[in-house]
Amino acid sequence: MLFWIIIAVFPSLIAALIALRMQFSRSAVESIAIGIPFGIVSFTSLLFAFDYAFGSINSYAIGLSFLVMLAALAAVYSKPIYDSAFSSLKKHKKSNFKISITSLPRWAWIFALAITVIIAIIFIAGTGNYANGIYCIDASCSDALYHIGIGYSVAFGHFPPEYYFTVGTKNVFPFMSDLYMGMLHRFGLGTVGALMLPDVMLVFSFVWLSMMVAYAISKSTRISVISTIMFWFGGVGFIKILDFPFIKQITPLFQPAHLFYLPQPHNTIPSFIYSVLKMSEIPTSYWTSIINSMLLAQRDLLLGLPLALAAIYIIYLGFFSETKLGAKEYLFLGILAGMLPLANAESVILVIFLGISALFYVLAKKGRLKGLYNFVLAAIPFAIIGSIELLYMNSQKREANWSYFIYQNYVLHGSNAFVTAVLSMENIVFFWLQVAGIPVILGLLGLYYAKRNSKAFFIPFMALWVFVTVYTPQPNPADSNKIFIYVFLMLCLFMAYLVDAMWRKGLLLRAFGILLVILVIINFPLFFTHDVFAFRQPLLTNAEIAAASYITNNTPPGAVFVVNDYNAFRNPVSSIAMRQTLISISQYVGGIYKYPPPQMISATMQIVSKASCTTAIKYNVSYAYLENPNSTTLALFNDSGFKMVFNYSQPSIPQKIYVYKLNCS
């Protein structure tokens, strides 16, 4: 079916046409950049709302979602509504109505286009069909099957959606990016295409919006280009370079590289520095680049970031600059920001901090009543839509026994308050030096050269930085640390101010500025060559694809499976086969479950190792998925009266998969 083309094109096209009518977006490319994430999240949020109303995403839900979006488009282009919304700007109409291809300066859009192409190639090259199945680089594979399972559970299932990877558990995070991918697949696009198409669309949007934000704040082509290059190719986690195999091979200077704890002998200064920083880095992963560590691995972030950047862009223009916007723009901002919780919940924290800062900034300026009126126009739809989404997510979290707020792991707990504070601060300093040493130091220095309103605009980002340093609203701190990417964007901007100042001071400082940029982006070519070209792993083997196809076509949608390898990152049953398991992909179960994971693991072992019908009946298990089982397990299943209904051998992996129907009554 080709209906997936309509799903892929129409929501973003409608949203882009709406954005084109706004005062902040008088160019086609910028409207598309805003329209892609806004269209995706609007369409999927409407689908989810009608999913609640109808009990599933049926033809009525899809049709009504499109009708609502078309109605919004018609309203925006309605002359009476348009004139009313722009009544305060009538004297600006003639000059502001001109629509161009792009409002960015020539070198800014050239670099934005080049960066988009490079990153799109990385995404496309990262996942593909090969002789043995679908293979991808490590960051792309990561938790892809987990997210596929989330998206498919909403797109194909009934409301309220339930996770496939642990039985009977409601979906706490029905990410809209995953739902969009699931809808593309539901209407005919293959697994790889459904993964890649939204990624490429959102990469374009994200790159262009990052350049738009940088240029809107700096009003300098050079600063915006330098900032965007460092942001996209910058190596946060720059100390990780000492651990690259390439570095270790070409020189013994950086040996030994894997020094996790002190004390140990150190024969070089770099190895000592690396070990100290490694020891202090407790909870999170390295960010060799935001592409590798954030975007390829964090699918919800890829939708949340451009959506939040669109909000950041409009907030800056509407509250921190001299740009005059109308009522419709502020309402648009509120609606867009209100849809963030189901796109990327952590980004809501930034928008709240930005909103508080904008309110104080407005109250400190002349014409505060007009500014306050505009603030209320944005705040009302944000509060209404955002509250509905957050309340839904919170109710699901509580029902799934997952609702708590925890300290970051490097904030220590002890009886001596002074020692605890000192050691916690030491951990925090070492952590941020390791993660973003150069941009942190030079970005803060670059604040000196920024304009006053730009400095004021950075205050909520500083608050976000403090927040994410102390607290984490996620069980895995790395999932919360990813919102540091917004702080990193601003640090790169202010570092670009510093480099620009050096550029204007003479040849020697110009060369030093270039060296600083190189130091920030040095990790990128190493990541690119090492991860993209040197290493791939299976996302789904041919055997797993064949097994999933059999399960989808020959077992009831409500069937519950037991899987023998419940710790595997890859499991087709709870992803593309869309069947619930007692427990699978257990690394991602965390605290989100109906039954405690140890209980599910014990039940799994009872069925797999003892062929226990009693346990199978207790949890309504009717099928078993066995991957590379040992001879004892096979003999047990064959002798217990269980019926083998599928088997597939792929010697090139090697991999053998069996599906059994459990004849328990």
* Least confident span in 294-303, 440-449, 529-538, 592-601: 529-538
pLDDT at 528 > cutoff 80: no
* Least confident span in 463-472, 488-497, 654-663: 463-472
pLDDT grade for 1, boundaries at 50, 70 and 90: low
Supply the pLDDT for residue 518: 80
Supply the pLDDT for residue 51: 94
Sheet containing strand 580-581, edge to edge, reads 580-581, 560-563, 621-627, 655-661, 643-650
Q: Which of 491, 484, 519, 431 is nearest to 241 (CA)?
A: 519
Residues 471 and 546 grouped into a single domain: no
Supply the pLDDT for residue 533: 60
Q: Secondary structure of the chain: what % helix, strand, coil (to 5)?
A: 65, 10, 25
Find the CATH number of the domain harbouring 583: 3.40.50
Q: How many CB atoms lie within 10 A of CB 556?
A: 9
Residues 192 and 340 grouped into a single domain: yes
CB 20 within 8 A of CB 283: no
**Amino acid identity of 638?**
N
Rounded mean pLDDT of 380-397? 86
**Strand pairing class (560-563; 621-627):** parallel
Supply the pLDDT for residue 470: 74
Supply the pLDDT for residue 596: 83
Mark which of 451, 485, 519 sits at the end of a domain.
485
- Number of domains, the chain: 2
In a domain, 279, yes or no: no
Supply the pLDDT for residue 437: 62
In a domain, 243, yes or no: no
> Which residues share a beta bridge with 127?
136
Residues 57 and 147 grouped into a single domain: yes
| 392 vs 287, residue with greater confidence | 392
pLDDT grade for 236, boundaries at 50, 70 and 90: low
Mark which of 469, 485, 501 sits at the end of a domain.
485
Supply the pLDDT for residue 170: 82
Residues 586 and 475 grouped into a single domain: no
Residues 224 and 311 grouped into a single domain: yes
3-state SS, residue 561? strand
Per-residue pLDDT tens digits for 607-649:
999 988 999 999 999 999 999 999 999 999 988 878 999 999 9
pLDDT at 369 > cutoff 90: no
| 538 vs 98, residue with greater confidence | 538
Share of the chain above pLDDT 90, in %: 45
Supply the pLDDT for residue 79: 65
Give the integer Cα–Cα distance in Å for 288 and 531.
Answer: 11
Residues 148 and 220 grouped into a single domain: yes
In a domain, 516, yes or no: no
Residues 419 and 560 grouped into a single domain: no
In a domain, 258, yes or no: no
Supply the pLDDT for residue 251: 38
Residues 196 and 338 grouped into a single domain: yes
**Strand pairing class (406-407; 471-472):** antiparallel
Residues 335 and 477 grouped into a single domain: yes
Residues 435 and 543 grouped into a single domain: no
Rounded mean pLDDT of 189-209? 93
Give the integer Cα–Cα distance in Å for 149 and 162.
Answer: 10
Mark which of 485, 501, 526 sits at the end of a domain.
485
pLDDT at 490 > cutoff 60: yes
**Mean pLDDT for the chain overall:** 82
Supply the pLDDT for residue 144: 85
| 433 vs 664, residue with greater confidence | 664
In a domain, 415, yes or no: yes
Give the integer Cα–Cα distance in Å for 391 and 398.
Answer: 11
Give the integer Cα–Cα distance in Å for 303 and 205.
Answer: 9
In a domain, 525, yes or no: no
pLDDT at 406 > cutoff 90: no
End-to-end CA separation in angstroms for the chain: 40
pLDDT grade for 263, boundaries at 50, 70 and 90: very low
Rounded mean pLDDT of 197-204? 93
Q: Which of 441, 491, 439 is nearest to 461 (CA)?
A: 491
Q: How many CB atoms lie within 10 A of CB 416?
A: 9
Residues 475 and 600 grouped into a single domain: no
Residues 462 and 594 grouped into a single domain: no
Domain range spanning residue 607?
539-661
Rounded mean pLDDT of 516-536? 68
Supply the pLDDT for residue 244: 45
Supply the pLDDT for residue 488: 85
Q: Which of 101, 114, 313, 106 is nearest to 203 (CA)?
A: 114
Supply the pLDDT for residue 183: 96
Rounded mean pLDDT of 508-537? 73
Supply the pLDDT for residue 288: 57
Rounded mean pLDDT of 179-207? 93
pLDDT at 480 > cutoff 80: no
In a domain, 221, yes or no: yes
pLDDT at 278 > cutoff 50: no
In a domain, 511, yes or no: no
pLDDT grade for 338, boundaries at 50, 70 and 90: very high
Supply the pLDDT for residue 186: 94
Supply the pLDDT for residue 43: 97
3-state SS, residue 583? strand
Per-residue pLDDT tens digits for 559-586:
999 999 988 878 999 999 999 999 988 7
